[in-house]
Structure formats: C-alpha cells, structure tokens
Structure 1
Amino acid sequence: MHLEPPNTRLVSFKDFAKHYLMIVLSILTALGLEAWIEHTHHAHAAAEASRRMDGELHKVLGNIEQSIAVNQKSLAALKALDAQVGADLGAGLDDAAINRKIQARRDDFQLNVNWPTLSSVAWDVAVADQSAGWIDASALQRYSTAYTAERELDTWLQRDSTIPVDAPHLVNTLTNLQTGRPVDPSDFQRSLRQMEMMLGSDISRLHVAAARIAPAVRGPAAGQPAD
C-alpha cells in the first residue's frame, strides 16, 4: 500500500484532522476491498468444491444402487436353486435324481457379486486445497458423513465381505458341476447358503452406505460430472 504525504503545509488542526481522516479512510477502504476479494475467492472455491463433490457422490450413489440391483438378482437365483434342493431333500429324492436337477440349473450356481466403483477424489482435493474449510458447516458435515460411509464400505467389502464363504470348497463344488461329477446335495445346499449369506450381507451394507450418502447429494444439479 502506498500513501502520498500531503504536499501542502498543515497550518491548523482542522487541516491535520482532514488529512488524517483521508489516510484512515484510504486504509480502511483498501482493507475492506482486500477482505471482499478474499471472501469472494473463498466463496467461489467452496462452491466449486461442493459442485465436484455433489457430482462425485451422485455417481457413487448410482453405482451403489446398481450393485444392489445386480446382487439382488443373483441372490434371487441362488435362493430359487436352494428352494429346489431343499424341496427335493424334503421329498426324499435320491442323490442321483437331485443331482440331475442340480445339473440342469448349474449355471445358477454363481457367486456373481457386484461391488460399486467408489471415489473420493473431489473430497481429497477439497481437503488438500483447504476449500473444504470454506464450505458451510452443515453441508461440510453431510459431505464428511458421506465420504466416511464410503470409506467404511470399501474397507468392509475388501476385508470382511467374503468371510461367510469357504472359497476352496466353493471352487471344488463348482468344478464338480462344470465337469458333470455328482455333488452331495446337503453339502451343495450348505454352499448355497454361504453364498446367500455373503450376498445378503453385501446388499445390507450397500443399503446402509446409500442411506448415509444420499443426504449429501443435492438435487438434480448433483448429477453434473466431477472433473
């Protein structure tokens, strides 16, 4: 900031007060303008960060909903096969007859698990460039909750979702089906139940994550793609 000293003699207190007031007003004006420019910059950065996060979370929510639909379809097929095997066992059919019916539907014995594509790039950028700190507190809380739910879902899917399934035994059963070898019907049903439990747990977790993410997705504008 550059201040010009008065180029005339101050011959009275009135002249001094006048020049002093002009200097003070100039300083206050400059500070106010600087504060306004900084506020405008922060507001723009916060709005841009919000736009990116809205778009990103909208995509994530769509991916989760798509995964739920795919997994529910897979679960329905497994349950139908399970019901058939259970009914045959209950009716006292011999293993050979049950195996023929299992072989006829062997394509339904698939652990077709769909996991959503998750992304937190917009949130990471907002934290890195500090624009997250300029977002309204209530909105920031919603975003934080949504991205926390996303991280927790990703951790669970990667580490815990497959716990109910005996993978080696599942591969052995699938191999027997593909090569036309007989399977033990009761053992086969236990494998089905494991797969159903895994899919059911995944679907439940996906629903919980979607319910926590949805409040942060704001209206139609949220559908704009995140760059």
Structure 2
Amino acid sequence: MHFEVPKIRMHTFREFAQHYLMIVLSILTALGLEQWIESVHHRHAAENASMQIDAELRGTLDDIHKSMDANTQKLAPLRALNEAITADVRNGVPDQEINRHIQAMKDKFLLSINWPTFPSQAWDVAVANQSATWIATEKLHKYAGAYAIQREAANWMAYKSTLALDAPRMVELRTRIRLGKEVDPLELLGVLQQMINSSAETISHLEETARPVQAALQGEQKP
C-alpha cells in the first residue's frame, strides 16, 4: 500500500495537525476497507465450500441409506434359509430330507453386500484452498468427523469385513448345492451364520457411518 503525502507548506501547527489527521484517517480507512474486503472474501469462500460439502454429504447419506435398504432385503433370504434348516435339524429331520429342502431353497444361499462410495472431492478442495479454515469451528468439526468416519468405514470394508467369513468353504458348499450334491446340514448352518453375521455387521457399520454425516448436515445452508 503506497501513499503520496501532499507537499504543502505548513504555516501553522493547526494546518499541520489537520493534514496529519487527514493522512492518518486515509490510512485507517484504507486498512479497514482492505480488511472488510478480505473478510467478505473469506465469508463467501466459506459459504461456497460449505454448500459444496453439504451437497457431497447429502449424496453420501442418500447412498448409505440405499445400501442399507438393499442389504436388509438381501439378508432376509439368508435368514429364511437359516431358520428353515435350523428347524429341520432341531426336529430331527433326516439329512436326506433336509438336503431336499436345501435344494428347494438354494437360490437363497447367496451373500450379496452393497457398499456405497464415499466421495471427498469437495472436502479435499476446501482443505487444499484453505477455505475450510474460514468455516465456523463447530461446523468444521462436524465436517471433519463425517469424513473421518467414512475413511474408517472404507478401511473396515476393505480389510476387516470378511475376516469372520470362510469364503472358500462357502464357495465349495455353493458348488455342491448347485450340482445337486448332498451337504452336511450343520456345516451349511455354520457357513450361513457367517454370511448372516457379515451382512448384519455391514448394515451396522453403515448405520454408524450415517450418524455423523447426518449430524454434519443439521442446519445446513440450502443451495
């Protein structure tokens, strides 16, 4: 910022004081205007970043709910098969008869898990261009929590979601059933329980992931 001091001969102290005061006021006015412009810029950048992040999180939350609904529907046939075979075993039904029941319900012996994508472009951009630093602290913490739990959920799905599932055993049983071969009902029930637990745990993780995302969207600015 550069100021040209007027080259005026001062005849009295009062004239000098007046010119000095004018220079000081000019500087203060310019500084105040500059700060106001910067403040407006920061506010607009924060509002724009919040709108982009809110839109991204709304899409994520919608995908989470869709995945939860899909997984709940796909879990129902597994539970129905498990309940039917469990009842047969408890009632002492011969294995040959149980296998006929298994063949009649073989289409239910299928594990299919739906998992949403977790986009983070809006958040990454806000962090990269520092507009995130101008968002209100409370709101920023909610955003950070929402994206942090998404990363945790993605890591769980990639590395831990199938730890309790004996996939080779499941594939072997599916192959035998598909070919019309008899299987051990107790072995089938063991694998069924693994499949049910994996699907139910996935739904539970999605529910936990949805909560901080929903919290971050409370009181959001509507576009």
TM-score > 0.5 by shorter chain: yes
Deviation at 1:3, TM superposition (A): 2.6
Name the residue aligned to 2:157.
157
Letter paired with 1:30: A
Deviation at 1:7, TM superposition (A): 4.0
SS of match in other structure, 1:110: coil
> Structure 1: how far apart are the matches of 2:169 and 2:94?
23
* Large movers: runs of 4+ above 2 Å: 1-8, 218-222
Name the residue aligned to 1:25.
25
> Structure 1: how far apart are the matches of 2:126 and 2:147?
12
Letter paired with 1:77: P
Name the residue aligned to 2:192.
192
Name the residue aligned to 2:9.
9
Name the residue aligned to 2:173.
173
> Structure 2: how far apart are the matches of 1:3 and 1:152?
55
> Structure 1: how far apart are the matches of 2:196 and 2:202?
10
SS of match in other structure, 2:41: helix
Q: What is the TM-score of this pair, normalised by structure 1? A: 0.94
Deviation at 1:133, TM superposition (A): 0.3
Name the residue aligned to 1:212.
212
> Structure 2: how far apart are the matches of 1:72 and 1:141?
31
User: In the alignment, is the contact (CA less than 8 A) between 1:60 and 1:119 conserved in 2?
Assistant: yes
User: In the alignment, is the contact (CA less than 8 A) between 1:54 and 1:218 conserved in 2?
Assistant: no
> Structure 2: how far apart are the matches of 1:24 and 1:61?
54
% identity of equivalent residues: 46
Superposed, 1:91-110 pairs within 5 Å as 91-110=91-110
Q: What is the TM-score of this pair, normalised by structure 2? A: 0.95
Tell me: CA distance 1:166–1:69, structure 2 relative to 1, closer, same or farther (3 Å): same
Letter paired with 1:50: S
Deviation at 1:221, TM superposition (A): 5.5
Deviation at 1:2, TM superposition (A): 3.7
Task: Using the TM superposition, name which of 94-103 and 191-200 deviates more.
Answer: 94-103
Superposed, 1:69-148 pairs within 5 Å as 69-148=69-148
What's the C-alpha RMSD, in Å, of the aligned pairs?
Answer: 1.4
Letter paired with 2:162: T
SS of match in other structure, 2:8: coil
User: In the alignment, is the contact (CA less than 8 A) between 1:61 and 1:213 conserved in 2?
Assistant: yes
Q: Which runs of 5+ in 1 are unaligned?
A: none
More contact order relative to length (CA 8 Å, sep ≥ 6): 1
